[in-house]
Amino acid sequence: MKNIIVVFFILMFSGVSAIQAEEVVVPLPLDLVTFEKSLESRSFIVLDTRSAKEFAEGHIKKSVFLGVDGPFETWLSIAVPDKNQFILVIADEDKAQNVLSKLNEKGYFHVKGFLKGGIDTWIKAGKKLQKINEVEAADLEKVISGKNKQVLDVRKPEEYRQGHLVTALNNPLSELPAWSQALQNKNTYYVHCASGYRSMIAVSLLQLHGAKNVVNVKGGYQAIQTNQNLKIESQ
């Protein structure tokens, strides 16, 4: 009872209404059985807050990438546009409480909890992981010359105008819900941003919503710029 009262007053003084407070799910460390059972429900997604490299190497199905060591708050509303979305969190144990605090501050009150022991718990139990297909920027010259292949630059329009790969389309991450509907599964899409953070968010969202052939370009535009065989133009 004491804990409930404390939580209520914390919420009250942080600007949360009484109605909202009643709906709040207090996040907890979840054992594997509870986490996996929740994941079976279509109402839950997994918010994976590890690094882009770790996410690419292996993540739980239905996961969206949003690394806590990057601009987490900036892209939270794109990664999880619905604040009523039920969320399960994957985080390094020493960063889990920080992630939960950031979510609470931004009004995401439907976080059930985080997997105790992080991704290692999932791996040690022999559970399957999905991976993100990736290519080096140096390989783009070869891979984009084929049929049904397209480069998507998810940086902001002003970044794109300052310099971009000649064949790349500018599809800003902030507008992903609109342009993603036009993607065709017969095509393979090579996605990049400036350095890799935003492109990993984009690829994870596209993967979550059923896109079949999306590939992350490692190192993003920073790596593309250094390759003399790739043609760059500005507007």
Q: One digit per residue, pLDDT tens: the chain, 235 residues?
A: 333 333 433 343 334 443 344 444 567 899 999 999 999 998 999 999 999 999 999 999 999 999 999 999 999 999 999 999 999 999 999 999 999 999 999 999 999 999 999 999 999 999 999 999 999 999 998 888 778 999 999 999 999 999 999 989 999 999 999 999 999 989 999 999 999 999 999 999 999 999 989 999 999 999 999 998 899 999 8
97 and 152 belong to one structural domain: no
Say which amino acid occupies 221. Answer: Y
192 and 103 in one domain? no
Number of domains in the chain: 2
- Same domain, yes or no, for 179 and 219? yes
Q: Which residue has the tokens 């007053």?
A: 9
Residues 77 and 28 grouped into a single domain: yes
Instruction: Give residue 142's pLDDT.
Output: 85
* H or E segment to which residue 169 belongs: strand 169-170
pTM (predicted TM-score)? 0.88
Q: Which amino acid is at 29?
A: P
Show which of 124, 143, 165 is a domain's final residue: 124
CA distance 203 to 16: 33
| 151 and 107 both lie in a single domain | no
Q: Are residues 99 and 57 in the same domain?
A: yes
What is the pLDDT at residue 233?
A: 95
Give the domain CATH number at 58: 3.40.250.10
The reported pLDDT for the residue numbered 235 is: 84
Q: What is the pLDDT of residue 124?
A: 97
Burial category of 220 from C-beta neighbours within 10 Å (exposed 0-12, middle 13-18, buried 19 and up)? buried
> DSSP E strands: which ranges in 91-153?
111-115, 133-136, 149-153
d(CA 191, CA 168): 9
Boundaries of domain holding 45: 2-124
Per this entry, what is the length of the chain?
A: 235
On the CB side of 130, how many CA atoms lie within 13 Å of its CA?
15
